[in-house]
Structures are given as C-alpha cells and as structure tokens.
Amino acid sequence: MPVQHQPSSASQARYCVRLYVDGGCRKQGTINAKAIATCVHKKSKTSGDHDVWNTVLPSWPAPTDNRAEITALILGQKKGLQLLRGRGANRTFHLIIHSDSKSSLESMKPVSDRNRQTDRDLFEEAWRLDTQLRAIVDSRIQYQWVPRDENTLADSYCRKKLDQLDRQESGLKGSFKRAEELKNADHLMKAERPKRAEHALKLINELNLAEVTLKIDDLSARFEGLKTAMQTVPMRSATQPLLKMEQHIEKSIELKTVKSIQEVDEKLAPAGGLKRLEGATAIAKSEALGESKNKKAGSNDSRGSQELKKENGVTMSGSVSSSEFNNTRSDISSSHYRSPSISNYTNGSIAPKDHSLYKLSVANKAFVHRQEHYVALYVESGCVDRGWPSGKATGIALCARKSVLGRYTVFTGALPDSPVPTAQRAEIYAMNLALQTALEINGGPGSSSSMKLEIHCTSENVIDCMNSWIHQYKSNGWLSCKGKPLVCRDLLEEAFSLDAQIKQVGQVSYILISPESNEMLRKLCDDKLDTLQRLLEVEEL
C-alpha cells in the first residue's frame, strides 16, 4: 500500500503493531446461522504473548462468511486506532493487518470498486476507518494477505467462540424444551388431579372392602372350626332323645305291644322329633314275637341279656352309663342329628346328605353309633404377574364347601412368593387346600368318623394327576416320563400324602366339571386376586 505520511525525522522511533484477523460462520443460510469475528494482537514475534478480541455478528442481516471476514477487518482497524492513541511521543506508527481473506483485502485498495451493493454497510464502515487511520500524522497502515496455516491463532480463537455459542444454544434449547415439558406436565397434572383423587378414593374403598372380606373369611373359618369341635363333644341336649327312645323300646318289649312299625313311630314321635327307626323297631318286633312263642326261652334270654347289660354298664331302666355312651357315640350335636330314613327334618328344611345311623344291639341293648360325612368341595385358582420391575407373581387358591341349600363356605389360601407362583402351582395348591380342609372337617387324620369326599375341579390335568399320574410319579421316584425332576414336586408329594390320609378314613373322588358350573367361584377368585394384588402394590409403594 502507498504510504500517505512519512516520518518527519529519521531519529523518531518506530512503533509497529501486527494484527491478525479472521471470521467464521456456521449454519449459513438458516435461521440459526451465527458468525464470529476475531482479532489477535501479537506483541512479539518470539514470545507467545498476545491479546484477543471477539465480536458476535447480529442475526440481521443474515450472517455469512464474507460478512464475518469484513467484520474481523473492521475490528482490527478499531483496535489499531486505540493502540495508535496510546503510542508514546516522537514515535512513528506502523499498523499491519494480516488476513487470509483476499476479497476483503482487495476491497481496501484505492483502485477497488466501491460501487458494490453486497455487504455495502460493512465496506463503508471499513473505508471510513481506513481514512481515519491514514489521516494521522506519522502513521502508516498496511493490509497484508497471509495463508490460512499462518493465521492459525486467530482461526483457533474464532472456532472456540463458535463452539461456545453452539453449547449455549444447545443449553438454551434444552432449557426451553424443559420449560415446555414442565408447562405441559403442569397442564396434565391439573387435568389428572380429579381423576387421581377419584382413583385414590376408589382404592381406599377397595382396601376397606378387602379388609372386611378377610375378616369375614377369618370368622367363617373360625365358625367351621367351632362347628367341627361341637360335633366331637357330647351335648346334653343330644342325649335326651336317645334315653327316651331306649325307654320306649324297653316298654314295648316288656308289654308285648309292638304290632307294627307305624305304632313304634307314633310312640317314638315325642322323643326329639324322630319319625322312624327301622333297625330298632324290627329287632323289637322280632324279639316280641319270639317271647310269645316260647315264654321259657324268652325268660332265659331276658336273664342272659340282663347279665350282659350289667357287664356292659347298661341298667334295666333304659338309661345308658356315661362311659358306655362316650364309647359308643362320636361326632354328634343337636343341630346335626338325623335319622337315616327321614327325608324332611323339622321346620320343613331339607336334610343334608350326611346322616347318623343308630342300631340297637339285642345282645346288650346299647346304642352303637356310626356317622358318615358326605363332603362336596369345589376348588378354583388363579395366578397373575404383578407387573413391577421385580417381576414377582401373585397366586391364590380357593376351596368352597357347598351346602344343600346352595350356600358356600369359602376357604382362601395365598401362594408363597418362593417358589415363584405359576398357574400350575396354583391349581395343585387349591387341590391340597381342599384335601386339608376335608381332613379338618372330618376331625383330623386320626378321626374315627367315616367320610365320603367329592372334590370338583375344572382342570383336567389336575384331575388326571390325582387319579393316576401321581401314583406313577411316586413309583418313579418323583421323576417325569423323561427322567427329569418334577417342577411342582413339593406340592405333588403333599397331595399324595393328604390323599392317603383321606383314604384311611373314607373315600375320595376327583370329579371334572365344566367352567360354567364353577362360574361363581371363578368370579370370587378373580375378585380376591385383584384385591390381593392391589394390597401388595400399595405395600411396595
């Protein structure tokens, strides 16, 4: 460049300033475009001491690489003016601005085309500053092009500033996004508050209902236990019909007035509501007819029977001693006493299938009692996955005893968490619950009462298992047909043991029924399973 002013004297010291400028733009042509202009002042060629200045281009006009380079040149001119004003006295000023943009440097030549329209606002600012620099006395301004690899210092600072702007923009976008999400979440919370309040109230009601249901089940189990205990305890009210019945039979034998079964029925009617006693009346009738044919044989039989009565603790007045009574009766109560030939009980209610059979022995005139229970049980089970990250499942088993009036007494059992509950384990667990319940109803494994048990189930696999497969498993060492250990071996062994205990005191039949016939118990099982699952979810929360 031509020098406008020369130093006035050769004795004046030279003050040389070297500035390196560079500009950069990212996302050019988009609405998010951003540009940086950088100026670096190297204080010495040997030392690395330098100063750096950066400026961010406005968003309008749209930033470009050319505007960034021209802005960097303008930044160098402004910093040169500041340094020129701070120079010392009697010193000439030599300003050299280095740039790797040839287009911006060529526009600063006096012969350059100054009628251009593109980026004219920036070029006019650069020309104005150039005029100010050249008007200063004892100053010299020079614009010099350098390759990009020699302008790495300014280029690195420009890139760092652009990276910083990118991070700030990302953080700002993230903040705006989080603010928008929070705003949307707040709207959703406001909309969901009534629904959540309703859901919470519904859950509280279900918990209260579940607590009441569990209490009812507990009371039902206690009532059944008390009912079973009452059957095994001699009741004073139950002994009165027996004593009166024996007195009437003794009178009938002595007076020889037994003519027909109908007459015995009429005389036995006051004795506790008994209508007919076929075994006793038939024996009494045969004995009366035998005495009428042979008085002597009858007297001998009478004396023999008196001696036998005395040995067995029975008096001639028709009463039974307490020891003989306790030895000859078992499991009787006033509410469960039935005659074997009576179809209708007092007050018109239907007699249940379980009944009591009483026989009168001619040899000792004592009552020997034998009671047989008919028990019908229905089983159902269910298992669901709780859906929590732990992956645990919930299983439940139901056993119901159905009365002749259609009423159900339900026993509930929940499967333990280990081993993991499955639908197969729940079915076998329900069968074991039914067998255990039947043993408790009958008075325990060592009870002398006989029982006829029927277990109704909707699972064909469980029915086949209890009828045949379980015995094959036992003989095969609890291994499958392929020689592998059984998955539910613990429950199958328990089922085999309970089945053997039942068969020691009675009979057991496993009956397959359709799901429609067990619909009531299925719905009850689903309700209890849902209630238990909600209780466990609240406990984990």
Which residues 6+ apart lie within 8 Å of 438 measured at CB? 375, 377, 451, 453, 455, 502, 508
Is it the case that residue 54 has pLDDT exceeding 70? yes
Average confidence (pLDDT) over 345-356: 34
Quote the tokens at residue 315. 């008096």
CB atoms near residue 48 (< 10 Å): 8
* pLDDT of amino acid 28: 87
Kindly tell me the burial class for residue 214, based on how many C-beta atoms sit within 10 Å of its own C-beta (0-12, 13-18, 19 or more).
middle
Highest mean predicted confidence (pLDDT) among 76-90, 176-190, 256-270 = 76-90
Closest to 248 (Cα-Cα) out of 224, 272, 218: 272
Confidence of residue 85 (pLDDT cuts 50, 70, 90): confident
Question: Among 301-305, 381-385, 435-439, 503-507, which is the least confidently predicted range?
Answer: 301-305
| % of the chain residues with pLDDT over 70 | 62
Q: Which amino acid is at 47?
A: S
Instruction: Check residue 252 and give its pLDDT.
Output: 53
Region of 201 on the Ramachandran plot (φ > 0 left; ψ -120 to 50 alpha; else beta): alpha
Give the residue with greater pLDDT, 508 vs 327: 508
| CA dist., res. 521 & res. 399, Å (int) | 9
Mean pLDDT for 480-487 is 87
Quick one: pLDDT at residue 459?
94
Report the range of poorest mean pLDDT among 87-101, 349-363, 441-455: 349-363
Give pTM, 2 decimals: 0.35
Mean pLDDT of the chain: 72
Cβ atoms within 10 Å of 376's Cβ, excluding its own: 18
pLDDT score recorded for residue 57: 93
**Does residue 421 have a cis bond before it (omega within 30 degrees)?**
no
pLDDT band of residue 245 (cuts 50, 70, 90) is low
Q: What angle do CA 172, 173, 174 make, to 5 degrees?
A: 90
Out of 52-56, 404-408, 505-509, pick the least confident.
Answer: 404-408
pLDDT score, position 332: 30
What proportion of the chain, given as a percentage, has pLDDT over 90? 30
- Name residue 151's amino acid: N
Q: Check the CA dihedral 276-279-280-281 and report its sign.
A: positive
DSSP 8-state class, residue 159: H
The residue ranking higher by pLDDT, 255 or 215, is: 215
The label of the residue with tokens 């042509």 reads: 29
Query: Residue 385 — pLDDT band, cuts 50, 70, 90?
Result: confident
Write down all domains in the chain, each with its CATH number in brackets.
1-231 (3.30.420.10), 236-365 (no CATH), 373-540 (3.30.420.10)
pLDDT at 157 over 70: yes
